[in-house]
Structure 1
Amino acid sequence: MKYLNYILILVGAIVAIYAKTGANQNQYILIGGIILLMIGVYRISRNIPSKTNDDNDNSVNDSL
């Protein structure tokens, strides 16, 4: 499933670039490419943990 996200990003970027380069730009192909790109980025970003930790933030604020 991890590779599916990268494939979505790659295919979305290629489709968006392809739709943008033509003289007769097809808006629907461009939108479809951007949607694929954003779905891939969203699926990858869901798995990245947050850097902040609420427990550490509360203890620092209590000491001030």
Structure 2
Amino acid sequence: MDISRTINFICIVVGGIIALYAQAEERQNTYLLMGGILLLMFGIYRTSRNIPSKYDKQEEETFVKSEDVEDED
């Protein structure tokens, strides 16, 4: 596991814990909750940047192949 994935994982876990802690109190600390959510979203964003798009694949991987049809005149 490289350092970037470790940082992403730590941001997600710590952000989630902070958000849950801030919301669990009887009187919610809004700034602490916002900070936890921001840290959580930052980790998720950094993780999603490294996931390739499913549309980046080439068309050769389709099951249906088209044939060139010649006009019969």
Unaligned residue ranges in structure 2 (runs of 5+)? 60-65, 67-73
TM score, norm. by length of structure 1: 0.82
Which residue, 44, 48, 71 being the options, matches 1:45? 48
Q: 2:7 aligns with which of 4, 8, 14?
A: 4
Unaligned runs of 5+ residues in structure 1 are 57-62
The match for 2:71 is: none
| More helix by percentage | 1
Q: Deviations over 1:14-49 (max 9, x none)?
A: 000000000110000000000000000000000000
**In the comparison of the two structures, how many residue pairs are matched?**
59
Residue aligning to 1:32: 35
1:52 match: secondary structure:
helix
Match of 2:62 in 1: none
TM-score by length of 2: 0.73
The code of the aligned residue for 1:35 comes to L
Structure having the higher Rg: 2
Whose RCO is larger (CA < 8 A, sep 6+)?
1
Supply the RMSD in Å over aligned alpha carbons.
1.8
